[in-house]
Amino acid sequence: MRMIRLFGIVLLALVVLSGALYLVRLPIASWGMREAMSRAGLENPQATVTALTLNQVRIENLSVGPNGGEGLRLNRIESAYNWRELLTERMVERVAIGPGLVRLKIDDEGNIVLPGFRAGSGGNERDMPALPFQKLSLADVEVLVDAPDGGATGSISADYDFRSGGSATLDISSEQLKFAGYSFARSNTRFDLNLSDNGDISISGTFNSDLEFQGALASDIAIGFEAAGRSWREAVSGNYASLMGQGKIQTSAPNIDVQNAALFETLRTSTMEALLGGVVTGGAAEGAFDIALSNSVVEVSFSEPTHRLSLVTNKGTELTLSPQGSVPFLVHSDQSDIASFQFEISGSGVNAEGAVDAEYIDGNWRVIAPINIAAYDSPALALSGSLIDIEFQSTGADIRADLALKSGLKKLNIGRLTIDDTPFTGFFEIAANIDTQSAVIINKDECLAFARTHALLAEQDMEVHLNGVELCNKGGSLARLNWTDRISSTLNGELSAQDAKFRIGQTKAEGKPPIIQFDADYHIIEDVTRIIGDVAKGDMTLNNALDMSAVDGGFEFTLNETDMTIDAIVDRLLIEQHGDAPLVSPVIANATANIRGTNAKFDYVLSTPVGERLGTGTGTQDMQKASGQTVFSFEGLSFTPEGVQPNKLSPVLKGFVDAANGEMGGEMVFEWGPNGVTSAANFGFDNISFAGPTRAVTRTSGFNGAVALTNLMPVQTDGQQTVTVDVVDMDALKLVDGTITFDVPGNDTIIIPQAEFPWFGGVIGVYDAEASLTGEAKVPLRADNVDLQQIFEYVDVNGLSGEGVMNGVLPVVFEDGKARIEDGYFKSAGPGAIRYQGAAAEQAAAAGGNAKIAFDILRDLRYNSMEVRVNGALDGRLDFQMFFEGTGEVNMENAKGRVPVKYTISLDAALLELLQQANLSRSFQLQIERGLQNVE
């Protein structure tokens, strides 16, 4: 009978214990036990019930898990109960477990699994039922932990009585235990729990271990933990919310070694060293916290000010976290986690402090962090007096941040580019996304203004100074970052400045820089910078030689570890010679250029500001020495009155050449370097005509030939040059169809070995003459074998004719833009004659007297010698003195027939043309002045 009762009770107890032990009598109880355990999801349950009484059951060799006890093996479990309470409140009086073995398993993700218990079978802790027993004791229970690599062993013992409380101790140590990337070594955990009868709880524990995570190794980690609270009685009866208490945590990790930490593989060590001021190989961390728990809100605060958290690197840089006033470091509750602390970084070039307030609610972050960097010095970045005020919040993978940045940027190294002395203030908006691993930075004020900046590329000896700078958003943003596989940043903006100085080697440009719209990509790992930009406007002077302005073009700049390349396309650039009296007028260039290292090559097309194409050119420049050369060639350049004009192309020709037409071709070569500019040119003239040269020559036309110059400034010919010209019109003196050989040695003089023109049947020319090009010049024209008959035909006065040959010299003096003949003379070579039977003769004949005589002689005055003197301005009056010695017809009382005469004609001709105009004879007012020289 008792057996059956026992069986019922035990059955009930078993159901109560876990619904597992309900068969009576030991073998049946064991079987029932095993049945219940497997039904509760335990795997391969083993259990033998060795004692089963009304108020006690003893189970021995209970094991769960594959191949007998790999999970749980408890050698002996004794439970005492009052069977009535068991039935009604499912409470047993006492459970004593031990000795035995609990074998836990940690899988790769770090989840702790008890082999044999199917995962997920337990509920989560909050809705755990109240403890089903009044007393519990665990004695001599061994704990074994299997990890993917290594494991831990320990023991657990506990003694608990609902009435008087109890205590528990857990002690686990392990040589090596690795899971989820964490690898603990030489670790030991000790944990003591005391429950006093008044409900107080006191907990203390220590954890010592070495820890390696993704290559970072922290050895001799020591964490101490002490806490007291109450009331365990409430908790045991399921009312966890009422638990409250406070405690203290002491953590220290004296030597942390991050040398081969995975994190630093992605950042090249040089970048790391540059940014963080030396490779941080490791450090030490130490800190203490006070913990307070009440109505399920945990507050973590720094212990007294001296025991905050500090991290010291091997470079001596110390990061210290401390409280913000009395605000706790961390407040954790079911709904949120709120952190608030101050931090200070100091040592080896860093001096910064700031505060962080962060909220983590439903998976979303919100952080506010004003940071004041008094000084930060590292090879890569140097700041002085910089203020960063950042506030960001994350919703899911999206992060939005507002950043206020007042930076005393002293130096920033990006790859081999150094930017320094760039204080600026900016307000930015950052939108980032964790999934796409990218961020966009937008300048809230559209433009970022800074007083000045200076950038230097040391290896390329390339430097830029900018003043009054503005960097504006382009396409709505200023920069884009992404940290997918290649960490890269793209800065895009519109850069403009009031004033700039730019230099590569000795090639320098100063003035108002063009506005640059640019996209700059910087790939940190490959250390490659690539900038693509458009340039517009600007007005800069290159090496005090050329003013370049109103640019419209684009460029591509690439910089990698070893070299720099620049490719530029200039659609339009106004180029003017610097200085107030330029040799060449402004021209418009359309060019392509590329710079490889320090050598530049360029090709260009030049046209006038109104678009008349002039020619094309190519050239090179050694940026380092600022020396280079260019060859400019032009074909079929045609001069037209309203179009291209020599004196418009080169203002120095103003007053020398004007109103040109005809075509010209040729090539100009310029070379420049530290010791100045040299130039040379070859010009081909094709039927050019122009007013000049100089005001003295009204017009030169039909100018043909090639001229080679060895210098343009001042003009210097390559020795003697020969050209032909149709007409040199010097008003009263017109030279026609001549060939001129000249030489301009470059000392402001012109040498004319020979210039010859056919002239009235003979020749008139310049031979071995030299004249000044600027001051007064005297050029003797020598006339040979001039035929008097052709002169008279040219003069074409009715009734005037003659013949004879003359030689002479006409010295032409060019002064102050005027030309005059000074002491010109002709002498007859051999006899000749002059005959005039024109209207003047008839008038004189009518008047009779001397006039009649004079003109009678003149009817056929044959001379055996004749001389003519000429003086006067070529653009004004000419004065001829003609002396004849010969014979003339006379019809007088005392003389008849041919008599010897000395005949002088003074001809003051306002204009030679007047001589030839048909109406000359009609309106010809001949004042014949007569003087009677009485010989007797």
Q: Binding-site residue total for another protein (CB under 8 A)?
A: 65
Instruction: Identify which of 868, 877, 872 has the alpha carbon closest to the alpha carbon of residue 820.
Output: 872
854 binds another protein (CB under 8 A): yes
CB of 933 to another protein, least distance (A): 5
908 binds another protein (CB under 8 A): yes
CB of 901 to another protein, least distance (A): 5
In DSSP notation, 308-368 reads SEEEEETTS-EEEEE-BTTB-SEEE-SSEEEEEEEEEEEETTEEEEEEEEEEEETTEEEEE
According to CB under 8 A, which one of 386, 517, 621, 647 is a site residue for another protein?
647
CB of 763 to another protein, least distance (A): 27
Distance in angstroms between the alpha carbons of the first and the last residue of the chain: 206
Calpha distance 632→225 (Å, rounded): 86
Peptide bond just before 132 cis, omega within 30 deg: no
51 binds another protein (CB under 8 A): no
CB of 835 to another protein, least distance (A): 14
Choose the stretch contacting another protein; rule: CB under 8 A; options: 173-181, 345-353, 554-562, 872-880.
Answer: 872-880
According to CB under 8 A, which one of 153, 798, 871, 917 is a site residue for another protein?
917
CB of 822 to another protein, least distance (A): 16
According to CB under 8 A, which one of 789, 871, 905, 921 is a site residue for another protein?
905
Gyration radius from the chain CA atoms: 57
692 binds another protein (CB under 8 A): yes
According to CB under 8 A, which one of 691, 783, 837, 862 is a site residue for another protein?
691
Q: Which long-range contacts (CB under 8 A, 24 or more apart) does 846-850 make?
A: 847/928, 849/930, 850/928, 850/930, 850/932
Q: Which of residues 699-718 bind another protein (CB under 8 A)?
A: 699
112 binds another protein (CB under 8 A): no
933 binds another protein (CB under 8 A): yes
736 binds another protein (CB under 8 A): no
Query: Is the sign of the CA dihedral 161, 162, 165, 171 positive or negative?
Result: positive
Nearer to another protein, 589 or 920 (CB): 920
899 binds another protein (CB under 8 A): yes
931 binds another protein (CB under 8 A): yes
Choose the stretch contacting another protein; rule: CB under 8 A; options: 158-166, 282-290, 670-678, 905-913.
Answer: 905-913
According to CB under 8 A, which one of 303, 616, 698, 807 is a site residue for another protein?
698
Calpha distance 755→312 (Å, rounded): 94
Nearer to another protein, 694 or 721 (CB): 694
Distances (CA, A) of 220 to 50, 188, 435, 505: 47, 11, 36, 56
900 binds another protein (CB under 8 A): yes
CB of 691 to another protein, least distance (A): 5
In DSSP notation, 228-276 reads EEE-HHHHHTT-GGG-EEEEEEEEEEEEEE-TT-HHHHHS-HHHHHHHH
DSSP letter assigned to residue 863: E
Task: State how beta strands 100-106 and 133-146 pair.
Answer: parallel
Choose the stretch contacting another protein; rule: CB under 8 A; options: 12-20, 148-156, 164-172, 902-910.
Answer: 902-910
Nearer to another protein, 778 or 898 (CB): 898
CB of 660 to another protein, least distance (A): 12
According to CB under 8 A, which one of 850, 865, 871, 918 is a site residue for another protein?
850
According to CB under 8 A, which one of 459, 654, 737, 827 is a site residue for another protein?
654
839-847 and 849-859 helices cross at what angle (nearest 10)? 140
Calpha distance 397→436 (Å, rounded): 9
According to CB under 8 A, which one of 35, 494, 658, 860 is a site residue for another protein?
658
927 binds another protein (CB under 8 A): yes
Amino acid at 198: N
Nearer to another protein, 273 or 885 (CB): 885
Q: Which of residues 878-897 bind another protein (CB under 8 A)?
A: 885, 888, 890, 892, 894-895
282 binds another protein (CB under 8 A): no
Calpha distance 296→632 (Å, rounded): 86
Tokens of 714: 């001042």
CB half-sphere exposure, 349, CA atoms < 13 A: 17
CB of 857 to another protein, least distance (A): 6
According to CB under 8 A, which one of 678, 843, 911, 921 is a site residue for another protein?
911
656 binds another protein (CB under 8 A): yes
Nearer to another protein, 531 or 857 (CB): 857
Instruction: Identify which of 777, 724, 715, 705 has the alpha carbon closest to the alpha carbon of residue 744.
Output: 715
Q: Rounded to the nearest 5°, which phi and psi values hold at 118?
A: -70, 140
Calpha distance 92→437 (Å, rounded): 57
DSSP letter assigned to residue 874: T
CB of 729 to another protein, least distance (A): 9
475 binds another protein (CB under 8 A): no
Calpha distance 855→838 (Å, rounded): 10
904 binds another protein (CB under 8 A): yes
According to CB under 8 A, which one of 379, 651, 745, 746 is a site residue for another protein?
651
Tokens of 27: 């073998």
CB of 546 to another protein, least distance (A): 18
Calpha distance 740→194 (Å, rounded): 125
With b meaning 16 or more CB within 10 Å and e meaning fewer, what string describes 217-236?
bbbebeeebbbebbbbbebe
CB of 830 to another protein, least distance (A): 19
659 binds another protein (CB under 8 A): yes
935 binds another protein (CB under 8 A): yes
Instruction: State the DSSP H helix or E strand holding residue 65, giving kind and residue range, or none if neither.
Output: none
581 binds another protein (CB under 8 A): yes
694 binds another protein (CB under 8 A): yes
CB of 747 to another protein, least distance (A): 19
Nearer to another protein, 1 or 918 (CB): 918
Nearer to another protein, 486 or 877 (CB): 877
According to CB under 8 A, which one of 415, 648, 715, 723 is a site residue for another protein?
648
CB of 728 to another protein, least distance (A): 14
Helix/strand/coil (H/E/C) assignment for every residue in 588-635: EEEEEEEEECCEEEEEEEEECCCCCEEEEEEEEEECCCCEEEEEEEEE
CB half-sphere exposure, 517, CA atoms < 13 A: 12
- The answer to whether 224 touches 252, Cβ cutoff 8 Å, is no
Amino acid at 671: E
Choose the stretch contacting another protein; rule: CB under 8 A; options: 177-185, 200-208, 594-602, 873-881.
Answer: 873-881
747 binds another protein (CB under 8 A): no
Tokens of 29: 């109880």
Calpha distance 527→519 (Å, rounded): 16
841 binds another protein (CB under 8 A): no
Exposed (0-12), middle (13-18) or buried (19+): which is 305, by Cβ within 10 Å? exposed
CB of 445 to another protein, least distance (A): 35
Residue 877, classed as helix, strand or coil, is coil
Nearer to another protein, 124 or 925 (CB): 925
Nearer to another protein, 396 or 579 (CB): 579
Instruction: Please give the residue ranges that form the binding site for another protein (CB under 8 A).
Output: 580-581, 647-648, 651-652, 654-656, 658-659, 691-692, 694-695, 698-699, 731, 817, 850-851, 853-854, 857-858, 873, 875-877, 885, 888, 890, 892, 894-895, 899-911, 913-915, 917, 923-935
